[in-house]
Amino acid sequence: MSTNAAQAAGESGGDAPDARQLRTILTTVSIALMAVIASVSGLIVAQTHMAVDFDTSQGTVLWIINVYTLVLAALLLPLGAIGDRLGRRPMLIAGLAVFGVASVASGLAPNAAVMLAARAVSGAGAATIMPVTLAVITSTFPEEQRGKAIGVWTGVAGGGGILGMFLSALLVDVADWRWLFVLPVALVVVALVMALKAVPNSRERSPHAFDTVGALLSIVAVAALIFVLQEGPERGWTAARTLVSLAVGLAATAGFVSWELRRRDASLLDVRLFRERGLAGGSITLVVVFGVQTGISVVLFPFLQAVLGWSGLRSAAALMPLAIAMMVASGLAPRLAARIGPRATMAAGIALTGGSLALMALFVSVDGGYLSILPGIIVMGIGLALAMVPSTEAITRSLPREKQGVASALNDVTREFGTALGVAMLGAILTAGYRNAIDDRLHGIPQETAHTAREGIANALQVSAGAGSHAQALVDAARQSYVDGWQQSMWAGVAVMAVLLVYIALRGPKNTAPAAAPDEAEDTETVAAR
């Protein structure tokens, strides 16, 4: 029996879970994770419906969407650490209850203010659930089965958002946008029943007091920096609010690092571990690949809807090959990592992801339509999975057993930073590329119409009806300009992946042994060559 499995058995008062119980545990945490992930992307497809129903601005609607991610990211580390101390099973159950109630409140919200508050509470519930789901795996599964379980978890984390977006678009089309919350509530109910029956408890007893100062500093740092990435593209990177938030975020980050270095063994997160290859390489890789995945989803939707004229449901369905490829490859990644090593597997995934971006940059066209980017989408799904699975395992292995909730939370924080960074970077590059390209194609278009068309492809299509004889020319110019901007954003992604590939080739994780707690150093293999 592995140390983790034995500990989980001891906490639950029984024997170590058998194969059937482990499958049930994995199913339970996967369903719980799916509820959280689906809620991240679900409301994206209902933006216009919320604006009309609540009679509110697009800015408020964006905040309803973003506040969930902001609260989720800010609370991950503290709640992950609390889960390690209080017990992962009760934290999972409490998180599911809070998330479920808040989701019901969101679906019934009579106005934007109530909706905003309900989504913030949903984010807090999600921050309780996410780190626990991975920590349950790392603390319950025997070492020889842990990689496969983490592969399943990673597949759900990566592909679940796309699947949630598709199901959300389907509900919006066939019913009403408020029915979007039926999906997460149903998943929560199933996960809650299964958690009460199947998930064993595990927790760590620490002789040190909880790091309250570190927790507060981490909340401020993460919230401020995520706010910058969310608001920068909308308000401008040099806007006063953006710069103040950046200053607060950087100051809080510096304060957090300084405080944690002084706390050492009693710290929330031992920042010295980032000197090691596993934690640093895994974290950087997840930031980049999640940024690429989310950025692609954001820039792909306007291509499908505005350039190709597809519906929201059909556009969401077009992303399903990416989700399927990720989920399938996530199951294969642990075997490949066991055979050729985590660093080689990560490098292969990064290379494939970069290659997929190059494919889409080279072959995308208005006339070629969806088929011109489909090969790139499939290759990307495989590449992302091969990069994510060993990266996630490298992070969880880099922290000792009693810090698995923190390790899981750190994995989730990197994901949220990557998501926000990818949207900001790829979105900004595409927007700039679109504007530069359309400027050369607006000759003869009335000045006011041309000015509106420069704002974006949706704006251009909206005003094309009033452009008279220039209507079709304006539509063609906008669509081709979007493709030009798309290509620039893809090549930027290729450059980023190339830099990451070099870094991982030189500094990627080498070890395959789990980290040891200080008091287990004489019994457990030392993690020396991360």
Is residue 519 domain-resident?
no
Interacting residues of 112 by C-beta distance below 8 A, sequence separation 6+: 50, 54, 56, 60, 61, 64
CA gap 278, 296 in Å, rounded: 27
pLDDT tens column, 59-116: 788 788 888 888 988 998 899 888 888 888 999 999 999 999 999 999 999 999 999 9
Residues 167 and 248 placed together within one structural domain of the fold = no
Q: Is 334 in the same domain as 407?
A: yes
Amino acid making up residue 44: I
Summary mean pLDDT of the chain: 83
* Domain edge (last residue) among 200, 228, 255: 200
| Assigned domain for 170 exists | yes
475 belongs to a structural domain:
yes
What proportion of the chain, given as a percentage, has pLDDT over 90?
28
Residue type, 267: S
Tell me if 124 sits within 8 A of 74, measured CB to CB.
Answer: no
- The pLDDT assigned to 246 comes to 93
Q: Please check whether residues 150 and 260 belong to one and the same domain.
A: no
pLDDT at 144: 82
Question: Rounded CA gap, 448 and 345, in Å?
Answer: 53
Is 179 found in the same domain as 236? no
DSSP 8-state class, residue 17: P
Residue 522 has pLDDT above 50, yes or no: no
**One-letter amino acid of 115:** M
Residue 527 near residue 278 (C-beta atoms within 8 A): yes
Q: Express each pLDDT in 339-390 by its tens digit.
A: 999 999 999 999 999 999 999 999 988 888 899 999 999 999 999 999 998 9
Per-residue pLDDT of 430-486, as tens digits, reads 888 888 888 888 777 777 788 888 877 877 887 787 777 778 888 888 888 988 888
Domain count, the chain: 3
3-class DSSP assignment, residue 204: coil
- Both 246 and 277 in one domain: the answer is no
Q: Are residues 119 and 217 in the same domain?
A: no
4 located within any domain: no
Look at 14-28, 212-226, 276-290, 336-350 and tell me which has the smallest mean pLDDT: 14-28
Same-domain check for residues 314 and 186? no
Which pTM does this prediction carry?
0.79
Query: Does 524 fall in a domain?
Result: no
DSSP states along 400-467:
-GGGHHHHHHHHHHHHHHHHHHHHHHHHHHHHHHHHHHHHTT-TTS-HHHHHHHTT-HHHHHHHGGGS
Is 344 in the same domain as 368? yes
Q: Would you place residue 513 in the very low, low, confident or very high pLDDT band (cuts 50, 70, 90)?
A: very low
Same domain (yes/no): 191, 323:
no
> Of 142, 175, 200, which residue sits at a domain end?
200
Whether residue 1 lies inside any domain: the answer is no
Question: Hey, CA dihedral for 98, 11, 218, 232, is it positive or negative?
Answer: negative
Q: What is the DSSP string of 193-228?
A: HHHHHHPPP-----SSPP-HHHHHHHHHHHHHHHHH
Q: Check whether residue 335 and residue 464 sit in a common domain.
A: yes
Per this entry, what is the length of the chain? Answer: 530
| pLDDT, tens digit, 9 for 90 and up, residues 302-325 | 888 888 888 878 888 888 899 899
- Give yes or no: residues 385 and 284 share one domain: yes
Task: Tokens 């339970």: give the residue.
Answer: 28
Residues 353 and 237 in one domain: no
CATH number reported for the structural domain that contains residue 106 in this entry: 1.20.1250.20
Domain assignment present for 375: yes
Of 200, 235, 257, the last residue of a domain is 200
**Residues 135, 405: contact at Cβ < 8 Å?**
yes
**Domain assignment of residue 147, given as a range:** 18-200
Amino acid identity of residue 262, one-letter, is R
The answer as to whether 500 is a domain residue is: yes
